[in-house]
Amino acid sequence: MSTSVTEAADQMEKEESLRLAIAVSLLRSKIQNHQSSSSTSRCDVPSETDALRWKQKAKERKREIIRLQEDLKDAESAKHCDLFPESASCKCYFFDNLGEFSGRRIGEASEPRFNDVLRRRFLRLARTRGRRISNRSSQRLRLSEAGYDEISEQLRISIDFLLELSEANSNASNFSNWSHQAVDFILASLEKLLLMGRNLESVEESISSMITQLITRMCTPFKGNEGKHLKTSVGFYVQHLIRKLGSEPYIGQRAVFAISQRISILAENLLFMDPFDESFPEMDECMFILIQLIEFLICDYLVPWAEKEAFETAVFEEWVASVVHARKAVAALEERNGLYILYMDRVTGELAKRVGQVTSFREVEPSILDKIISYPE
């Protein structure tokens, strides 16, 4: 009996131990599961946050790339500042005071908000045409030469573009739209090249060729139906271009020399020409335009030219002597048309006045100054 009771007690003790072991195991398992789940949740939160953050950054970067691409397209096409259609006329008053003395300095800048629009268009158009005209070598330039060659090419393209615009078959709206942009780029490019001081022979050749062709175009009348859309003779428009370009003494002084040479040649041709010849009126008009242009250049720019450090005294002496010679050539036509000599006397008078205003001209050859002063003011 006692044995059975003892066995029953042992059995109950084993069951209690088993239950306790199971309970402890369950409790440990529950604690471990809780710790594992809490640890996993703590790791997952930063992981999910980082993923969202990088995803957001990727979206922002993509939007930024798209925006930059759109900005690049806008910069190339100038859509954001293109205020007018392609056929819009120039609004910068470039051709104000055409054929008249200007009340303000003729070299004043154009109205910026219109000028910027047309400048961008000019760049695109000029570069496009420049590529068609010449096939340049694709050889890579050295860094020391890249700047000079780029500016020199810009000067060449601008000159070619301006000469193309001044041709008889050039569209009138294109001429008024783009001519002043070409002038601005020629002046800016020339100034940079002169500061560099390299290969000036090539620069002078380009400028002299441009002046000669513009003078020829100025004295070449339209034929047939050409130019009927222009209220003013095309010669005055080209005259105005030379007048604007003349603000730079490097161009202006050479222009005066070339014009005075042309006056001398024209005076000799008129001296032996039949007044009833069909071309006589055209040559007569050309003479007045040439004389007027010299007067404009001298009155507008001679004093500002002389104030610049880069003023070329030798070139000044050459064109002064040429102007005096042109005055003598015109004097031979006094019996045919006394207005020629009257206008040339006015030119030499204005020249004498301005030479007297500038002290630096005292270094000029005395015989040159004597020739100027010898004519009445």
pLDDT in tens, 95-139: 666 666 654 443 444 444 445 555 555 566 655 655 554 544 444
Residue 261's pLDDT is what?
A: 96
Answer whether residue 238 is part of any domain. Answer: no
Answer whether residue 93 is part of any domain. Answer: yes
pLDDT band of 20, cuts 50, 70, 90: confident
Torsion sign across C-alpha atoms 366, 371, 373, 374: positive
Same domain, 190 and 290: no
pLDDT, tens digit, 9 for 90 and up, residues 217-272:
998 865 444 444 444 567 888 899 999 999 999 999 999 999 999 999 999 999 88
Same domain, 268 and 150: no
Query: What's the domain range around 128?
Result: 79-210
Answer whether residue 215 is part of any domain. Answer: no
Count Cβ atoms within 10 A of the Cβ of residue 122 and give its class: 0-12 exposed, 13-18 middle, 19 or more buried.
buried
Q: Which residue has the tokens 């003349």?
A: 246
Answer whether residue 33 is part of any domain. Answer: no
Answer whether residue 228 is part of any domain. Answer: no
pLDDT band of 40, cuts 50, 70, 90: low
Residue 82's pLDDT is what?
A: 41
Answer whether residue 25 is part of any domain. Answer: no
Q: Please say if the pLDDT value at position 147 is more than 70.
A: yes
**Least confident window among 122-136, 188-202, 205-219, 362-376:** 122-136
Q: 210, 235, 266 — which closes off a domain? A: 210
Same domain, 174 and 271: no
Same domain, 259 and 204: no
Same domain, 259 and 168: no
Count Cβ atoms within 10 A of the Cβ of residue 211 and give its class: 0-12 exposed, 13-18 middle, 19 or more buried.
buried
Report the chain's terminal Cα–Cα distance, integer Å. 161
